[in-house]
Structure 1
Amino acid sequence: MPGNPLAAAEPWDLVADEYAEFAPAIMQPFSARALELAGLSADSQVIDVAAGTGMLSLLAAERVAQVQAIDFSDPMIRRLVAAAQAAGLTNIEAQVGDGQALPFDADRFGAGFSMFGLMFFPDRARGFAELFRVLSPGGTAVVSSWAPVVESPLMRMMFGAFAAADPSIHEPQPNVLSLENPDVFATEMREAGFAGLSIQRHTISLTFGSADEMWETMVRSSASMVLMRRNVGEEVWAERAALMRAYLADNYRPNRPLSTTAFLGIGHKPQP
């Protein structure tokens, strides 16, 4: 999406450490579901595009022969490599690179993934085309994108907090031109060459022991919040953070489950 600040590496560079610590609570269940849908085997060769700090790569490496991970953020890749080493996983190769121009031969991987990454690409069509190119015939791709915020009580709670701190921030309305529209999702995958398409809705629920725990999990790993903090300065950020935390304290009941939903696009590269 042209003009989207999250299509650049810088905000992800800034949030890499916090993302590695806090984001798995939200992201790992979707990665686990994506791996189930791909039908992997012990000899599978896998590519993880826009891999971030490696949530899918680390899970996949425990069940496949080889994982190639690529992301445009060097700090994210360094965190991925460190996590793989700490876990004793020797079958992950990670590098900095562009998911719109993958540095791999065609027809190489039996499965390919992009978890909440390709959705931000400036040229989504190119991202889908590259993922299709590097898959071997018969290979499976699974790509995830968030459903509209209106379908996510978790995200609605957070946007309520944002608006409490800055009334100019409004809850995003559904974007019918993005991957949060299942018809667009399927069309873009089909145009890249994928067949046997299925766009599946997957919902998870999270609970937090306190409003402060919710704040830590949702905000410290958010690239958007890092950008806001940098743009407004520390003094204004401190004022806004206090207002957001107060909103959550007033509106979140400890251990209350809040759901969030994503779409998982599954497609296959046809056999010749």
Structure 2
Amino acid sequence: MSEQLSSVVRPWDLVAQGYAETGAAVLAPFAAHALEYLTIGSESEIVDVAAGTGLSSIAAAELGARVHAIDLSPSMIDQLVAAAAAHPTIVAQVGDGQDLPYEDNRFDAGLSLFGLMFFADRAKGFAELSRVLRPGGTAVVAAWAPAAESSLMRALFGALTAADPTATLPQPDSRSLENPRVFDAEMRAAGLLDVRIEQYTAEVRFPDATALWEALTRSSAALAVVRDEVGEPEWQRRSAAAIDHLTVTYRPNTPLRTTALFGIGTAP
């Protein structure tokens, strides 16, 4: 997936409904883990940058926080608003994480789960997150570890290759946030203090091959673009081939692992 995806609205609009319906199967453990780095009370104000369909926002609101959620995709925000209907402490809006519409020193904490990692200008994203935090506020940013280290991603790309021999597992990118040294340096360059980068691995299980395929493909912006480009008949052909492959290679309810890097820092 290109690191420019977060600067283009269309892929995220295409995937918004599928992301809302299937994304939690993989993302919910990471959203819950992110909040373990925060102390949240009824007076806490949190910003959720590139909030997607609101898993982190809703989890924080359920702990009592007042949350401002922002995402570049109107369709993502529509899904978030619908999911957050029972949480009046969540305010959601369309906007750019590289140019946040909030005043300085506004929030006690800032989150960005698997969003800032795709920004065209990550330096601006980190700087903006730091800017809107109160002194001593906590920033928590999550990015995926290399795909090759994830049995979940290897399963997905094995299925993709069965359907399309040109598909390949993404290669490690030492310039991205999957490199802990880059992650650490970019957070420090934004002025954040006491920065640390930690790994967190979650296990996910699926009842069958179809559920695995649907969960991963319907929550992937990159694959939503592929589906749109190749057309529905070809996508359905590829899906059938991929599910056939997974039916052979994946035993139902077998755990698959995937790892994220969490960057944690403190606003000066």
| TM-score, length of structure 2 as denominator length | 0.97
- Pairwise CA RMSD of aligned residues? 1.3
Distance in structure 2 (CA, Å) of the matches to 1:168 and 1:122:
26
- Report the more deviating stretch, 27-36 or 117-126: 27-36
Shift of 1:235: 2.5
**How many Å separate the matches in 2 of 1:170 and 1:76?**
28
Equivalence for 1:253: 251
Once the two structures are superposed, residues 78-132 of structure 1 have per-residue CA deviations (whole angstroms, 9 ceiling, x without a partner) of 11111111xx211010000000000000001000000000000000000000000
- Aligned mates of 1:28, 1:246 — CA distance in 2: 27
Separation in structure 2 between the aligned mates of residue 113 and residue 100 of structure 1, nearest angstrom: 14
Displacement of 1:6 after TM fit?
4.9
How far 1:2 sits from its partner (Å)? Answer: 7.6
Helix, strand or coil at the partner of 1:37? coil
Structure 1 equivalent of residue 95 of structure 2: 97
Give the structure 1 partner of residue 144 of structure 2.
Answer: 146
Most deviating of 64-73 and 134-143: 64-73
| Letter matched to residue 127 of structure 2 | A
**Cα distance 1:254–1:2, how it changes in 2: closer, same or farther (>3 A)?**
closer
Q: How many pairs were matched up?
A: 268
Note if 1:180 corresponds to 2:170.
no
Of the three residues 113, 117, 120, the one matched with 2:118 is: 120
Once the two structures are overlaid, the 10-residue window that deviates more, 126-135 or 59-68, is 59-68
Does 2:235 correspond to 1:237? Answer: yes
Check 1:262–1:106 CA distance in 2 against 1; reply closer, same or farther (3 A cut): same
Deviant stretches of 4+, over 6 Å = none
Output the CA distance in 1 between the equivalents of 2:235 and 2:18: 17
1:15 CA drift (Å): 1.3
SS in 2 for 1:42: coil
Counterpart residue type for residue 171 of structure 2: Q
What is the CA distance between 1:20 and its match in structure 2?
A: 0.6
The aligned counterpart of 1:64 is 64
Structure 1 position 136 matched with structure 2 position 119: no
Deviation at 1:229, TM superposition (A): 1.0
Unaligned 5+ segments in structure 2 are none
Q: Corresponding residue for 2:48? A: 48
Deviation at residue 3 of structure 1 after TM alignment:
7.1
Residues in 2 aligned to 1:82 and 1:235: alpha-carbon distance in whole angstroms: 31
- 64-73 or 261-270, which deviates more: 64-73
Q: Equivalents in 2 of 1:35, 1:253: separation in Å?
A: 32
Q: Does the 8 Å CA contact 1:107/1:136 hold for their aligned counterparts? A: yes
The answer (yes or no) to whether the contact 1:112–1:131 under 8 Å persists in 2 is yes
Q: Distance in 2 between matches of 1:3 and 1:143?
A: 15
Q: What pairs with 1:72-91 in structure 2 (closer than 5 Å)?
A: 72-85=72-85, 88-91=86-89
Task: Please list the CA deviations of residues 148-172 of structure 1 after superposition, one character each: whole Å capped at 9, or x if unmatched.
Answer: 0111000011011111111111111
* 1:6–1:224 contact (8 Å) kept in structure 2: no
The answer on whether the counterparts of 2:52 and 2:76 sit within 8 Å (CA) in structure 1 is yes
1:18-61 deviation digits (Å, cap 9, x = unpaired): 11111011111111111111222331110000000100000001
Give yes or no for contact 1:45–1:64 (8 Å, CA) kept in 2: no
- State the secondary structure of the residue aligned to 2:197: strand
Equivalent residue number for residue 13 of structure 1: 13
Q: Unaligned 5+ residue runs, structure 1? A: none
Select between 162-171 and 254-263 the one with higher mean Cα deviation: 162-171
